């Protein structure tokens, strides 16, 4: 798939394992993995950060092969998931940082354009999540709301 706002073709990604079962070196039971995910979720980590911690510190390459559920579904079952999807939340925080930068450096015209592109990306992603029911239909991006979050 092509990049959204550039002329580059795409990005390389690592390949997931072809086998859909848990690797032999994973010694954790499914209950232990769920308790680790819940503990990390209570610390305030995002699902991708939890996945990285499990990979790096606990030698669990994929949650879905071990338990059969994703990290986000485990967090939702334990009422630890955030109201905004993770990628939309990251984009809004990035837009807030960029807007603060532009208030300090008003003549930075290149970043004015990057803020426009970023906000259009937020609007497109919000439209997608509203259509799929992952985001409330009344949610609307504005810079004042994003600064409060």
**Range with the lowest mean pLDDT among 18-32, 51-65, 72-86, 92-106?**
18-32
Query: Confidence band (pLDDT; 50, 70, 90) for 22?
Result: confident
Widest Cα–Cα separation across the chain = 57
**Cα–Cα nearest to 114, from 126, 89, 90, 97:** 97
pLDDT of the residue at 65: 86
Q: What is the CATH number of the domain that holds 141?
A: 1.10.287.10
**Cα–Cα nearest to 124, from 72, 95, 88:** 88
Residue 23 lies in a domain: no
The packing angle between helices 47-57 and 30-42, to 10°, is 130
Same structural domain, 102 and 131:
yes
Residue 9 scores a pLDDT above 80: no
Which residue range forms the structural domain that includes residue 132?
A: 86-148
Query: 77, 104, 139: which is the final residue of a domain?
Result: 77
Give the integer Cα–Cα distance in Å for 126 and 42: 26
Q: What kind and span of H or E run contains 141?
A: none
Counting the structural domains of the chain, the total is 2
For 60, counting Cβ atoms within 10 Å of its Cβ (0-12 exposed, 13-18 middle, 19+ buried), the class is: buried
- pTM here? 0.79
Share of the chain above pLDDT 70, in %: 89
Residue 44 scores a pLDDT above 80: yes
For 7, counting Cβ atoms within 10 Å of its Cβ (0-12 exposed, 13-18 middle, 19+ buried), the class is: exposed
pLDDT of the residue at 7: 72
Same structural domain, 73 and 90:
no
pLDDT of the residue at 2: 56
Which is more confidently placed, 85 or 13?
85
Residue 117 scores a pLDDT above 80: yes
Query: Confidence band (pLDDT; 50, 70, 90) for 12?
Result: low
Residue 134 lies in a domain: yes
* CA trace torsion 19, 23, 24, 28 (10° rounding): -150
Average pLDDT for the chain: 87
């Amino acid at each position: 798939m092509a990049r959204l706002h550039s002329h580059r073709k795409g990005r390389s990604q690592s390949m997931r394992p072809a086998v859909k079962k848990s690797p032999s070196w994973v010694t954790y039971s499914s209950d232990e993995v769920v308790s680790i995910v819940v503990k990390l979720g209570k610390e305030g980590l995002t699902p991708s950060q939890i996945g990285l911690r499990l990979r790096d510190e606990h030698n669990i390459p994929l949650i879905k092969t071990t338990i059969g559920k994703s990290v986000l579904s485990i967090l939702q079952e334990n009422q630890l998931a955030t109201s905004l999807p993770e990628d939309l939340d990251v984009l809004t925080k990035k837009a807030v940082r960029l807007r603060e930068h532009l208030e300090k450096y008003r003549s930075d015209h290149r970043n004015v354009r990057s803020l426009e592109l970023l906000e259009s990306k937020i609007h497109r992603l919000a439209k997608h999540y509203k259509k799929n029911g992952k985001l409330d239909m009344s949610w609307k991006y504005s810079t004042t709301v994003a600064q409060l979050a």
